[in-house]
C-alpha cells in the first residue's frame, strides 16, 4: 500500500506521542519535502520539530518539490505537494485532515484518512484507547472535532 501524508496527521500524532502508529498501520509513509519543512517550522510543536530533524527510516521524503499549480490556488503548499506526490506515486491513501484538502484529494479519486481515522484504526487493533485518545486530541490541541465526528470515526471501523 502506498501512503502519502500531509503535515497535520504528523503534527497531531506527534503531540499525542503516537507517531509510531504510522509504521504499524502502513509500514512506510511518503511525504513531500515541504511537509517535512512545515514540521520543522519554528511555530510547530517542539516534539514534532525534534522528530522531523532526524526522520525515521519508515518516512520516505520526496524532495522533488513538485506541486500542481491549480492546487496551490486553493490549498497550502504542503497539501498541494502531498496530493501531487500521491498522483505521481499512484498512492492508495492520503493522510490529510483539512476539509478542502480532503475534497481535492477525493475529487482526484484518492482515498483519504484523517488523524481521527488513524486513531480509530489503532483503537480497533487494541493499540490505543480510542475514546481517551480522541478526547486528548480534542482537549490538548487546537484540533476541532465534535462528539458526533468521534463517534462516526469509531463506527466506520467497526466490523459489519
Whole-number pLDDT of residue 131: 92
Where are the domains positioned within the chain?
3-116
**One CATH from 3.40.50.2000, 3.30.750.24, 3.30.70.2860, 3.40.50.1010 for 3-116:** 3.40.50.1010
- Beta carbons of 86 and 94 less than 8 angstroms apart: yes
Residue 112: per-residue pLDDT = 94
What pLDDT shows up at residue 129? 96
**How much is the pLDDT for 94?**
97
pLDDT in tens, 43-96: 999 999 999 999 999 999 998 877 878 888 889 899 999 999 999 999 999 999
> What pLDDT, in 10s, does the model give residues 108-156?
999 999 999 999 999 999 999 999 999 999 988 888 888 898 998 898 8
Band of the pLDDT at 38, cuts 50, 70, 90?
Answer: very high
**pLDDT confidence bin for 159, thresholds 50/70/90:** confident
When pLDDT is averaged across residues 9-27 and rounded to a whole number, the result is: 97
> What is the per-residue pLDDT for 146?
86
At 73 the pLDDT is 83
The cell 509513509 sits on which residue? 29
pTM: 0.92
Q: DSSP readout, 2-63?
A: -EEE-HHHHHHHHHHT-TTHHHHHHS-EEEEHHHHHHHTSTTS-HHHHHHHHS--TTEEEE-
> By C-alpha distance, which of 2, 11, 141 is closest to 76?
11
Amino acid at each position: 500500500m502506498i501512503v502519502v501524508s500531509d503535515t497535520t496527521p504528523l503534527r497531531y500524532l506527534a503531540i499525542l506521542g503516537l507517531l509510531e502508529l504510522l509504521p504499524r498501520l502502513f509500514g512506510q509513509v511518503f511525504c513531500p519535502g515541504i511537509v517535512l519543512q512545515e514540521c520543522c517550522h519554528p511555530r510547530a510543536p517542539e516534539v514534532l520539530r525534534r522528530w522531523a530533524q532526524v526522520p525515521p527510516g519508515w518516512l520516505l521524503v520526496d524532495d522533488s518539490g513538485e506541486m500542481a499549480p491549480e492546487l496551490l490556488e486553493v490549498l497550502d503548499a504542503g497539501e498541494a505537494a502531498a496530493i501531487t506526490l500521491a498522483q505521481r506515486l499512484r498512492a492508495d491513501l492520503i493522510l490529510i485532515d483539512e476539509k478542502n484538502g480532503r475534497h481535492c484529494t477525493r475529487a482526484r479519486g484518492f482515498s483519504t484518512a484523517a488523524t481521527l481515522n488513524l486513531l480509530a484504526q489503532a483503537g480497533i487493533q487494541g493499540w490505543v484507547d480510542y475514546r481517551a485518545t480522541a478526547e486528548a486530541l480534542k482537549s490538548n490541541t487546537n484540533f476541532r472535532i465534535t462528539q458526533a465526528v468521534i463517534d462516526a470515526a469509531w463506527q466506520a471501523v467497526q466490523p459489519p
